[in-house]
C-alpha cells in the first residue's frame, strides 16, 4: 500500500490525538502530536520565568532561547504511546495541565516558535507514512498531504471530554471553567497572525459529536481505501 501523509486539524478536544494514534497504530505509521510540541515550549517558558503571573510572555528571551530547546518523542512501553521529551526529560504529564492549556496558544502564536516547530515537524514527516494532528497541518505544515481531515464537535461535548481528561489525571475543574478555557483557546487559534486555525479547502470534515472511536476510525480507513483505489485507477490510465 502506498505510504501517505495524513493531516488532522481541528479545534481543541475534538479527539484529534485519539484518532491520530488509532490510525498510526492501525497503519503502522509514525504519529506526531504537534500540539504537544508547542506545549513543551510553553512548559520551558514557564520553567525559565519567561511568562509572568499576568500571562505576559517575555518573547525576546524566549526567542533567544529557542536554539537550546529540543522537543522529541519517545515510545512509552507501558502505554504504547509516544511521550514528549523536552531537552532529554519526559514531560508528558507536565504539559497536560490546565495552566499549559491556557497559555499554549499565546506561545504558539510567536512566529519564531512556529518556524522552529514546523521545521522539526517537516523533518519528522518527510518520509511519509505519518499521521500529524494540530491546527495548521493541512494548510501550512504539509499542504500537499494526501489526506486532510478537519475535525469538529459540539462545544458541550468537547468541554465534557476535556473535563474527563483532566479528571483522569487528578485535575478537577468545573464544566464552566473548561468551557471558558476552550472558547479562549479557539479564539486565540483562529485569530492569530501566524498560521491561524482554518480548514484546508480539500479537507474532509469529520464531526464526531455522536461518533464512537471505532466509527471514526472506520470512516477514515474507508477514506484511505478510496484514496488508494483512485490512485491505482489513475496509474492504470497512464
pLDDT for res 230: 72
pLDDT for res 231: 67
Determine the 3-state secondary structure of 14 from DSSP. coil
pTM: 0.88
pLDDT for res 2: 86
What gap in Å lies between CA 208 and CA 151, rounded to an integer?
7
What gap in Å lies between CA 61 and CA 35, rounded to an integer?
22
pLDDT for res 134: 94
pLDDT for res 232: 67
Cβ atoms 9, 146 nearer than 8 A: no
pLDDT for res 119: 97
**What total of structural domains would you count in the chain?**
1
What gap in Å lies between CA 63 and CA 154, rounded to an integer?
36
Q: How far apart are the first and last CA of the chain?
A: 19
- Helix pair angle (111-124, 98-108), 10° resolution: 100
CATH number for position 48: 3.40.50.300
Query: Nearest-CA neighbor of 36 among 73, 80, 78?
Result: 73
Cβ atoms 11, 154 nearer than 8 A: no
Low-confidence ranges of the chain (pLDDT < 70): 231-238
Task: Give the contacts of 75 (CB within 8 A, at least 6 positions apart).
Answer: 81, 82, 83
Domain that holds residue 166: 5-236
Residue 29 corresponds to which cell in the numbers above?
505509521
Measured over the CA atoms of residue 237, residue 221, residue 131 and residue 202, the dihedral's sign is positive
Amino acid at each position: 500500500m502506498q505510504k501517505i501523509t495524513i493531516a488532522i486539524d481541528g479545534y481543541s478536544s475534538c479527539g484529534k490525538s485519539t484518532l491520530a494514534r488509532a490510525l498510526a497504530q492501525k497503519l503502522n505509521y509514525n504519529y506526531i502530536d504537534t500540539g504537544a510540541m508547542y506545549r513543551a515550549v510553553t512548559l520551558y517558558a514557564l520553567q525559565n520565568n519567561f511568562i509572568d503571573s499576568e500571562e505576559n510572555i517575555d518573547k525576546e528571551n524566549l526567542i533567544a532561547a529557542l536554539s537550546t530547546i529540543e522537543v522529541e518523542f519517545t515510545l512509552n512501553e507501558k502505554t504504547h504511546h509516544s511521550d514528549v521529551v523536552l531537552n532529554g526529560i519526559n514531560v508528558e504529564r507536565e504539559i497536560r495541565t490546565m495552566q499549559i492549556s491556557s497559555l499554549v496558544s499565546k506561545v504558539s502564536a510567536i512566529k519564531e516558535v512556529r518556524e522552529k516547530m514546523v521545521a522539526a515537524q517537516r523533518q519528522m514527516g518527510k518520509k511519509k507514512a505519518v499521521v500529524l494532528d494540530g491546527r495548521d497541518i493541512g494548510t501550512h505544515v504539509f499542504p500537499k498531504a494526501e489526506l486532510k481531515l478537519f475535525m469538529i464537535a459540539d462545544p458541550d461535548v468537547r468541554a465534557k471530554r476535556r473535563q474527563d481528561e483532566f479528571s483522569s489525571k487528578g485535575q478537577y475543574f468545573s464544566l464552566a471553567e473548561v468551557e471558558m478555557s476552550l472558547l479562549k483557546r479557539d479564539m486565540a487559534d483562529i485569530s492569530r497572525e501566524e498560521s491561524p486555525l482554518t480548514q484546508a479547502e480539500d479537507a474532509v470534515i469529520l464531526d464526531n459529536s455522536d461518533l464512537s472511536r471505532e466509527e471514526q476510525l472506520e470512516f477514515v480507513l474507508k477514506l484511505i481505501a478510496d484514496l488508494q483505489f483512485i490512485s491505482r485507477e489513475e496509474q492504470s490510465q497512464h
